[in-house]
Amino acid sequence: MDKTLDDVQLDFATALLNVNGEQRLLQALVGDEAKNRKRVAFYRNNLRQMWYRVLASAYPVLRELLGDDFFLTLSREYGAADPAWSGDLNRFGSRMAELLEAWPLTATYRYLADVARLEWLVHRAYFAADAVTLTSDGQARCTRETLQNSSLRLHPAVELLHTSTSAADLWLWAHDSEQNLEPRNCERPQWMVVVRPRWIPDVMVVSPTAFEMLRDLRNGAALGDALDAALARDSNFDFERNWQAWLNHGIVVSG
């Protein structure tokens, strides 16, 4: 029985993802088998190069940590494990942290998965919607009393992440041209906020209390309630200083 077009397309996709699975496709193609095998290999190589370019764009720090040759191997491993499912290639690579935790070659280096988590949030921040942020004019002079009943939300580009390793330090070092990126003393938890002031994503390291307050605001808590919870966690929490930093980095917008 002749194969349908859908069957041949499925065999073609399988052959691109797995060289050992190309025989079914070759049997359905006309012409010289050796030439067909080379043609399939050409398409497979193009696919792998696409995986590499897309993932290197989303994970530049991870690429620097691993080195180009190893990252190329990683990109092939990822592409085979989680092929692109959307026509928007900016969505490809969302499960990199999961692969790094499960893949034997990287599983023991926990900071790699945490860096991947952070880089994916930075990547998402590039494409997040925009919103009018609160400015320092006037708002910076507000006190906790005047802001108590304000309705606020976080900017759509803002992301919150807590990691068990110092992923933020690695990300920040990678963006400092005067620093050599060498992972050391990484076994330290960090609380961080991905921000996008002036359309350029950046990473802020914050205190656990500030992190929890921002998470409460993201979950819909009123500012007064979120501040009360923060002060219950840490009676010395400096709201005014944190508020100024949130304004400067475009974190909060009007509700």
**CA atoms of 84 and 72, how far apart (whole Å):** 17
Instruction: Identify whether residues 30 and 55 lie together within a single domain.
Output: yes
Instruction: Identify whether residues 99 and 123 lie together within a single domain.
Output: no
Predicted confidence (pLDDT) at residue 217 exceeds the cutoff of 50: yes
Instruction: Identify whether residues 39 and 122 lie together within a single domain.
Output: no
Instruction: Identify whether residues 134 and 154 lie together within a single domain.
Output: yes
Instruction: Identify whether residues 83 and 150 lie together within a single domain.
Output: no
Each residue of 98-128: pLDDT tens digit?
Answer: 999 999 999 999 999 999 999 999 999 999 9
Where a domain ends, among 108, 137, 161? 108
Where a domain ends, among 108, 139, 155? 108
**CA atoms of 52 and 96, how far apart (whole Å):** 13
> Which residue segment(s) compose the domain that 186 sits in?
116-255
Q: Which region among 18-22, 34-38, 186-190, 249-253 has the lowest average model confidence (pLDDT)?
A: 18-22
Question: Whose structure tokens read 């923060």?
Answer: 230
Instruction: Identify whether residues 71 and 155 lie together within a single domain.
Output: no
Where a domain ends, among 84, 108, 132? 108
Domain count, the chain: 2
Instruction: Identify whether residues 214 and 194 lie together within a single domain.
Output: yes
Instruction: Identify whether residues 244 and 124 lie together within a single domain.
Output: yes
Instruction: Identify whether residues 93 and 166 lie together within a single domain.
Output: no
Instruction: Identify whether residues 90 and 164 lie together within a single domain.
Output: no
- Between the two ends of the chain, the Cα-to-Cα distance in Å is 63
Instruction: Identify whether residues 129 and 25 lie together within a single domain.
Output: no
Predicted confidence (pLDDT) at residue 142 exceeds the cutoff of 80: no
Instruction: Identify whether residues 80 and 165 lie together within a single domain.
Output: no
Each residue of 46-58: pLDDT tens digit?
Answer: 889 999 999 999 9
